[in-house]
Structure 1
C-alpha cells in the first residue's frame, strides 16, 4: 500500500477539520501518517520506538518533520492503534516501556480528539477494505456476512476478529496471543519443554513472534546436539537462502504452529469469512510460507477438517493496513460527536 492508497469508499475531498494524525504503534516501530482526506494517507514515516522516551515525544518528532509539517497547520483529531490492551485511560505497553494517560497525551499534543485502540482491533477493521492487498493461501470462497479471524506475528502475537453487526462490523478486543501454547507433535513437545526452562507460562506469543523464532532455534539446536543462538532475521535469511537446514526446520515449525493457532481461531469464531494473517514475519517468508505446513496444520482438526478445508486463509500484503482500520474508527467517533 502506498502513501496515496485509498479505501474503496474514498473520495477526493479534504477533511473539514484538517489533516488527521494516524499512528500504528508496535513494540519496535511507530508508524505515522496524515490522512488529508478520506483514504488519503500521506507523509508516512516509521520511527523507532527506542529512539524516543515517550509516545508524546515520538508524535512531536513526527509532526515536526518537514514532510509532515507541510501538510498540516495543527492537527485537531488523531487516532492511535497500539500493541497493547486498551481499557480505560491508562495504557502501559507490554512489549515496550511507554506508559501514558490518554487524556494527558491528548492535552500534551493539543488535540481536540484522541482515540486509542488495540492495534489488532484496528487491523481487524481494515479487513473489508483490503481489496487486492491480500493473498489467499488455501481454502474455498469466503461466506458473506460471516465472522473474520485475524492473527499476526511480529514483536508479539496479535489476535482479533471481526463480527457482523447490523450494517457494519464489530472488532473484538482480544488478547488471544497470550493463551497457553499447545503442542501437536513430538518436536513441539520438545520445544515446549525447552521453553518451560525460561518461562513458567508458555503462551502462543512466546513462540509465534520474533523472539519466539529465536526460542524455537535454541530448542531445536540443543535437540540436534549443537546448542547455539541466532537472531530472528538471520534465521529467516539462512532458511530462505537454503544454506541452513536447522534454520529451515525452525521456519517450518513456526509455520506449522501458526497454522494450528489459525485453525483454532477459525473454529472458535466460526470464521467462515476467512482467517487473515498479518504481522511482520509471514509476509517476508513469501513462497516459503505457502509451501510450508501452515495450511495442512490449519485443517488438521479431526472431525472438523472438512469444515476448515472450506475456510479461506489470507496473507495481508498491504504495507500499512492498520491505517485503514484506525481511520474508520476515528471517522465513526467524529461522526457520532
Structure 2
C-alpha cells in the first residue's frame, strides 16, 4: 500500500491493563488522537490497532508499539497479557511499511530531546549537561528496569536491560533481613521485589510489628503516608533509601553525565518525598566516590505520553537515515 509522505505514524503503549494508541507527525504526538483501550475487552493487539484505525480513518506511514516487557528480533511479550506481539502483526494490522516493537522504557529513552521542559522536575540539580552525554532511564512502576541512552553519529541508541532482576544491594543488617524477607517470593531477592508497586507492599509488611496483619495495597500505603501515618512513612523512607542506592549503583555503571531520568508511576508517587527522605544522600553514598557522584543530575519525568513520543522519535530517526527500520 502506498502512503503519502505527509501520512502520520501510529504509536502505541501497551501496559498490563490498558493500551494507548495515537497518531504522530514526526516526533509530535497529536494529543487529541490519544485513545485508551482496556486490554481485557480485546482478544489481541491487532484487533486494538484495527479498531483504532477504523475510528480515525486514513492510512499511516509507520507504526511503533512500546510494551512493558522484553523485546528481541521484532518479537515482544508481556508477563500478564497473552497477546501475540511481533512486527509482522504490526504490518498486517496497520498496513504500514515501517514498523517497530520496543520495550516501553527504551521508548521513553528515545523521547529524550522531545520532552517538554515542564515535564521534568529536578531531583538533584546540576548545570545543564551537553546534549551528547550519556543519559540513564530508570523506570519504577509495576516493575523496575533501566536503560542507557547513547548519542551516536547514527542517532540516539537506547540499550535495553533487565536490571530489575539483578540482586537487591545490601549495606546494612536491616537490608539483609529485607532481602531474606522478599526472597520468599521466588527464592531470589531481586531489585524489582522492593522497587516496584508490589515492593512498597512488601516493605510495609517487612516493617510491620504484627506480621499477620493484612497488608494494604500500595495506593493505600501512599495515602496513609500523605496523612502522616508513621508506619507508611517508615515504609517510604526505607524504599527511597534503596531507590537512591540502586540509582547510584546504575549511575556508576553507565556514567550518565547527561542525566538520570526517573520514570514510572511509582517514581512519580515518590516525588514529593525524595528530598525529605534523603534520596540524594543515598544516591551519592559511595565512599571515596561520593564527590564523583555530584556530576550526575537527576530528574523526575512526569510526561504520560513519553513512551508514545519515543515511539514517534524512533520511527522519525529511521526515516531521517533513510532506513526501513531505525537504528536500534
Superposed pair shares fold, TM > 0.5 = yes
User: 1:78, CA displacement in angstroms?
Assistant: 0.8
Q: 1:6 maps to which residue?
A: none
1:41 matches 2:30:
yes
* Residues 232-277 of structure 1: per-residue CA shift (max 9 Å, x gap): 11111111221x2111111222211111111111110111111110
User: 1:45, CA displacement in angstroms?
Assistant: 2.3
5+ residue gaps, structure 1, are 1-14
User: 1:40, CA displacement in angstroms?
Assistant: 4.0
Alignment of 1:291-306 (within 5 A): 291-306=276-291
Counterpart Cα distance in 1 of 2:181 and 2:41: 33
Counterpart Cα distance in 2 of 1:329 and 1:259: 30
Q: 1:28 maps to which residue?
A: 17
Q: 2:121 maps to which residue?
A: 135
Counterpart Cα distance in 2 of 1:224 and 1:298: 31
5+ residue gaps, structure 2, are 324-328
Counterpart Cα distance in 2 of 1:330 and 1:18: 13
1:75 matches 2:60:
yes
- Equivalent residues of 1:93, 1:99 under 8 A apart: no
Q: 1:170 maps to which residue?
A: 157
* Residues 77-104 of structure 1: per-residue CA shift (max 9 Å, x gap): 2111112221124322134333333213
- Equivalent residues of 2:137, 2:148 under 8 A apart: yes
Q: How many residues align?
A: 316
- Equivalent residues of 1:282, 1:289 under 8 A apart: no
Q: 1:57 maps to which residue?
A: 47
User: 1:281, CA displacement in angstroms?
Assistant: 1.4
Q: 2:218 maps to which residue?
A: 232
1:149 matches 2:139:
no
Counterpart Cα distance in 1 of 2:26 and 2:75: 30
Q: 2:319 maps to which residue?
A: 334
Distance 1:89 1:289, change over 3 A: same
Distance 1:60 1:39, change over 3 A: same
1:314 to 299, 303, 309: 299
Alignment of 1:119-134 (within 5 A): 119-132=104-117, 133-134=119-120
Distance 1:63 1:87, change over 3 A: same
Distance 1:253 1:224, change over 3 A: farther
User: 1:56, CA displacement in angstroms?
Assistant: 1.9
- Equivalent residues of 2:18, 2:39 under 8 A apart: yes
SS in 1 for 2:96: coil
* Residues 168-221 of structure 1: per-residue CA shift (max 9 Å, x gap): 322112221221111232332222111122221221112111111122222222
SS in 2 for 1:35: strand
- Equivalent residues of 1:137, 1:315 under 8 A apart: yes
- Equivalent residues of 1:89, 1:101 under 8 A apart: yes
- Equivalent residues of 1:53, 1:98 under 8 A apart: yes
Q: 2:81 maps to which residue?
A: 96
1:212 matches 2:209:
no
Q: 1:9 maps to which residue?
A: none
RMSD (Å) for aligned C-alpha atoms: 2.2
TM-score by length of 2: 0.88
- Equivalent residues of 1:124, 1:325 under 8 A apart: yes
* Residues 38-94 of structure 1: per-residue CA shift (max 9 Å, x gap): 5142311233333333222332343344xxx1xx41334211111222112432213
